[in-house]
Amino acid sequence: MSESGSQEAAAAPNGSGSPTDRTPRPSVGNRVTVVLGAQWGDEGKGKVVDLLAQDADMVCRCQEAAAAPNGSGSPTDRTPRPSVGNRVTVVLGAQWGDEGKGKVVDLLAQDADMVCRCQGGNNAGHTVVVGSVEYNFHLLPSGIISPKVTAFIGNGVVIHLPGLFEEAEKNQRKGNSLKGWEERLIISDRAHIVFDFHQAVDGVQEQQRQEQAGRNLGTTKKGIGPVYSAKAARSGLRICDLLADFTQFSERYKVLAKQYKAMYPTLEIDIEGELGKLKDYVQRIKPMVRDGVHYMYEALHGPPKKILVEGANAALLDIDFGTYPFVTSSNCTVGGVCTGLGMPPQNVGEVYGVVKAYTTRVGIGAFPSEQSNEIGELLQTRGKEVGVTTGRKRRCGWLDLVLIKYAHMINGFTALALTKLDILDVFPEIRVGVAYKVDNKPIPHFPANQEVLQRVEVQYETLPGWNSDTSAVRSFEELPENAQKYVHFIEEHLDVPVKWIGVGKSRESMIQLF
């Protein structure tokens, strides 16, 4: 990717406070008024919109959706009501994944009552280090290693049942942190099931893409795309179906298997074998399954609770806002929290964006700040940049603030966690992407089109390195002066405060600034 001289880009303001003022900030900007149907449609939404539009500047369509109750106030109290109930704290990736979300969740989970997953499947990979033990999570919320935490897998998650139990048992053998996990895991009855043939189809589709177009998407082959496709096509099967009438479930399963067999004649599906395994899981998962909407509502509107949401994947892998088509198949931005847990937006509280101090990406797709040179190799080696799920080496490059700013526009980060700062300890100078040019013309936005993004010329600021080991540092003041300046530079360009700085793998290596 081409690059050119230094240029400073103006930050998109998020509101109050100076960049070095790290106090939490209230949400700011214009708010949208939303009109939703509360039944099966045809309630008369258009008439209400028409009434409100007389005094509006802008009217938007986003999709057709059923509304969830907001639960506040009495039906006869018609005055505007404040948001009520517990708020969830959300942890999201701000790049292409692998930013260290698991570590931030692990830190916050020490004081949490409940940790939730809202989207994705076992294509995600979160690593948490406790003492000398390294735990790897793909489907389970990583906060489950905190013994007092209840873990909730929401309806937006797709579940491969053999993978779920295999992951739990594998981590359980490493130490005592997962003790009693089966009693502390709750699964939404509306979550879709990933079957073995979904994973097989994923592999076949990748092979076909390679043969037909000369490139594939670089999926994890965990069946994520096929199962979300089945969900959208309304042919998928959910946990509630498995626990209801198994005969009916079996018939629907066979129909789905035959559909895939017709599309992919070489596909081998052991229908009776997989049905037998699924039947064996029924009694095992039944105690874990709840009506997810009701469970989440009770958690939000019951006694005070600290609820944490652990995002999987990251903003630039979002199906709508990521670098399409090289993305995952779910919404990994803040909107996915509401749809993936069945909760209203007024219960979203803090939204923490996790940012690696440099940039990495797994697989193919545009990567403007990539360094295909000795710098990229050094970042890869020092950062041990190998995928938790696939074992593939990650591509590496400098920090790209255009990309982070774009993620902030979508998610409204209230604070950032800056991870792996120690990996930059050996660099005499550090470059940071602050603006983009295409065809030698500045562009004010992050391009949607992949071909345009491939042609981006990154404008860099060059900062002095610190040439000092930061791995033992435990406070911001102990960081070398140039490391502090690097953090300030990021805050100033994004106008978002950095709340944590990671300088190692353990819990203790996360420096909290406020």
Q: Is 387 annotated as a binding residue?
A: no
Residue 121: what residue type?
A: G
Q: Is 507 annotated as a binding residue?
A: no
Is residue 64 within 8 A of residue 35, CB to CB? The reply is: no
Q: Is 227 annotated as a binding residue?
A: no
Q: Are strands 133-137 and 126-130 parallel, antiparallel or unpaired?
A: antiparallel
Is residue 479 within 8 A of residue 513, CB to CB? The reply is: no
Q: Is 455 annotated as a binding residue?
A: no
Q: Is 98 annotated as a binding residue?
A: yes
Distance CA 275, CA 281 (A): 10
Q: Is 37 annotated as a binding residue?
A: no
- Which spans in 323-443 are helix H? 335-341, 374-382, 401-411
Q: Is 400 annotated as a binding residue?
A: no
Q: Is 502 annotated as a binding residue?
A: yes
Tokens describing residue 146: 């905190």
Is residue 249 within 8 A of residue 241, CB to CB? The reply is: yes
Residue 395: what residue type?
A: R
Q: Is 84 annotated as a binding residue?
A: no
Q: Is 148 annotated as a binding residue?
A: no
Q: Is 302 annotated as a binding residue?
A: no
Is residue 157 within 8 A of residue 191, CB to CB? The reply is: yes
CB atoms within 10 A of CB 359: 27
For residue 437, the cross-strand partners are 442, 457
Rounded to an integer, what is the distance from CA 29 to the centroid of its chain? 24
Nearest alpha-carbon partner for 367 in 255, 237, 458, 278: 458
Q: Is 323 annotated as a binding residue?
A: no
Tokens describing residue 468: 């000092």
Catalytic residue numbers, as ranges: 98, 126, 231
Q: Is 408 annotated as a binding residue?
A: no
CB under 8 Å to 388, separation ≥6 — which residues? 98, 125, 126, 127, 136, 138
Distance CA 30, CA 11 (A): 18
Q: Is 393 annotated as a binding residue?
A: yes
Nearest alpha-carbon partner for 159 in 132, 119, 127, 131: 119
Q: Is 313 annotated as a binding residue?
A: yes
Q: Is 353 annotated as a binding residue?
A: no
Q: Is 394 annotated as a binding residue?
A: yes
Nearest alpha-carbon partner for 408 in 315, 338, 336: 315
Dihedral sign (CA 486, 487, 488, 493): positive
Q: Is 5 annotated as a binding residue?
A: no
CB under 8 Å to 126, separation ≥6 — which residues? 101, 102, 105, 136, 137, 138, 142, 310, 312, 388
Q: Is 68 annotated as a binding residue?
A: no
Q: Is 504 annotated as a binding residue?
A: yes
Distance CA 328, CA 123 (A): 9
Q: Is 125 annotated as a binding residue?
A: yes
Burial class (CB in 10 A: 0-12, 13-18, 19+), 75: exposed
Q: Is 117 annotated as a binding residue?
A: no
Residues annotated within a binding site for Mg(2+): 98, 125
Detail the residues annotated as belonging to a binding site: 97-103, 123-127, 220, 234, 313, 328, 388-394, 420-422, 502-505
Q: Which residues are annotated as a binding site for IMP?
A: 98-101, 123-126, 220, 234, 313, 328, 392
- Residue set of the binding site for GTP: 97-103, 125-127, 394, 420-422, 502-505
Binding-site residue set for substrate? 98, 388-394
